């Protein structure tokens, strides 16, 4: 094209030179621990399907049966004609599961975070976010047009100092489990600070639901907190639940306000009702089959012990996310490629997803993995990183 605006080749070349260029791989078949990727059979260590429910026969059957009843698409937004009894039942069950008055479904976690933050605060308000929050939380804060500040990761003293500077309505926003580090936010301390400063508190527990807590209700249950302590709770359904979509849970008034004001809820098509029915089954499995969490945590312990014996630099995580810090992006890419050659697929995470100089291998574990597969990965890591 003659129009210089469309000359993107220079930007793409720069990304390649910086080892920040990203490529997609084509997966054949259903999500599983063993995958066929670009024609090669690999053991999958980069999925967020933490409980192995994405291809569970009961979940798949529920989707198929519901598709016969509801069809494939929902046809419209929730506020027009897209809100089915399947959606409504799932919202009620998620509210009960999280110990909250109500829950509200969103099409994706990204849309939930954008919608909630921008609905609750505006130009004259303030939003304070952990520096390592997920991109959707950061974008939600920017989209709100509120005064946007980031506090040092996990640093309650820095947060307290920034709260003291805020005179307007303020919302504190944090991940519950940080997606690239696997560590937990100090929810009790965040809840205390929010109460002291009469600020709102929103927690994104995308990576905690299903994995943490006695019943799998996530990081809030893990810390023994309630709706009173963490009034705004977001969770996704495409990770431990094994399906797709997201929800926000809280008070009746919170949910009613979001129905009225969250633009990413009001102005988008509802998730398919068949997905809602499938998620209802995965929610029951998540609650009744506690062995999945038990097995997952035993695999986490096994991996961490083996990695420690090899001197690998792990991060402070006891969740299914087990990052190995590498530092240099090119080195992380090379190790990831070498592991793929040996039949193990795990992602090299590079800036801007993580801070400069902290490129890493992001190992994610699932209840579907076997001890032998974890041990084989550790052996491969020992050889590649020797």
239 is catalytic: yes
Q: What span, in angstroms and rounded, lies between the C-alpha atoms of 118 and 322?
A: 32
Which of 56, 78, 83, 207 does the annotation list as catalytic? Answer: 207
Helix (H, G, I), strand (E, B) or coil at 3: coil
Helix (H, G, I), strand (E, B) or coil at 381: helix
Helix (H, G, I), strand (E, B) or coil at 68: helix
- The total of other beta-carbon atoms located within 10 Å of residue 341's CB is 11
84 is catalytic: no
Which of 83, 239, 295, 369 does the annotation list as catalytic? Answer: 239
Within the chain, residue ranges assigned H as helices are 9-17, 57-70, 85-98, 109-120, 135-143, 156-165, 187-196, 219-222, 252-261, 263-266, 273-288, 291-309, 329-341, 371-384
Helix (H, G, I), strand (E, B) or coil at 188: helix
Cis amide bond preceding 352, omega within 30: yes
234 with 204: CB under 8 angstroms?
Answer: yes
First to last CA, the chain: 48
Q: What span, in angstroms and rounded, lies between the C-alpha atoms of 366 and 46?
A: 9
Which of 47, 84, 179, 329 does the annotation list as catalytic? Answer: 179
109-120 vs 252-261: helix axis angle to the nearest 10? Answer: 100
The residues annotated with a catalytic role in the active site are: 179, 207, 239
């Amino acid at each position: 094209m003659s129009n210089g605006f469309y000359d993107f080749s220079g930007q793409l070349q720069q990304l390649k030179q910086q080892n920040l260029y990203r490529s997609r791989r084509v997966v054949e078949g259903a999500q599983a621990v063993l995958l066929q990727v670009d024609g090669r059979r690999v053991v999958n260590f980069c999925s967020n399907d933490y409980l192995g429910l994405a291809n569970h026969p009961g979940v798949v059957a529920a989707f198929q049966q519901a598709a016969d009843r509801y069809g494939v698409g929902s046809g419209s937004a929730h506020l027009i004609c897209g809100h089915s009894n399947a959606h409504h039942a799932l919202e009620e069950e998620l509210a009960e599961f999280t110990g909250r008055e109500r829950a509200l479904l969103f099409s994706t976690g990204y849309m939930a975070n954008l919608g909630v933050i921008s609905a609750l605060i505006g130009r004259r308000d303030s939003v304070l976010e952990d520096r390592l929050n997920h991109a959707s939380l950061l974008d939600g804060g920017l989209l709100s047009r509120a005064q946007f500040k980031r506090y040092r990761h996990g640093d309650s003293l820095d947060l307290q100092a920034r709260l003291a500077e805020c005179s307007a309505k303020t919302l504190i926003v944090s991940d519950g489990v940080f997606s690239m580090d696997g560590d937990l936010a100090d929810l009790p301390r965040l809840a205390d600070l929010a109460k002291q400063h009469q600020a709102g508190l929103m927690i994104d527990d995308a990576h905690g639901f299903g994995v943490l807590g006695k019943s799998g209700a996530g990081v809030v249950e893990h810390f023994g907190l309630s709706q009173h302590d963490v009034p705004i709770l977001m969770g996704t359904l495409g990770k431990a639940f094994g399906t797709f979509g997201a929800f926000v849970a809280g008070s009746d008034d919170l949910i009613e306000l979001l129905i009225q004001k969250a633009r990413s809820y009001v102005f988008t098509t509802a998730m398919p009702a068949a997905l809602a029915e499938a998620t209802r089954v995965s929610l029951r499995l998540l609650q009744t089959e506690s062995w999945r969490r038990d097995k997952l945590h035993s695999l986490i312990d096994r991996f961490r012990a083996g990695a420690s014996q090899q001197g690998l630099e792990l991060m402070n995580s006891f969740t299914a996310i087990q990052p190995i810090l590498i530092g240099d992006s090119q080195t992380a890419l090379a190790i990831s490629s070498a592991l793929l050659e040996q039949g193990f697929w795990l992602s090299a995470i590079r800036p801007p997803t993580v801070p400069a100089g902290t490129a890493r291998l992001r190992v994610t574990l699932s209840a579907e993995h076997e001890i032998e597969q974890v041990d084989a990965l550790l052996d491969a890591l020992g050889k590649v990183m020797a």
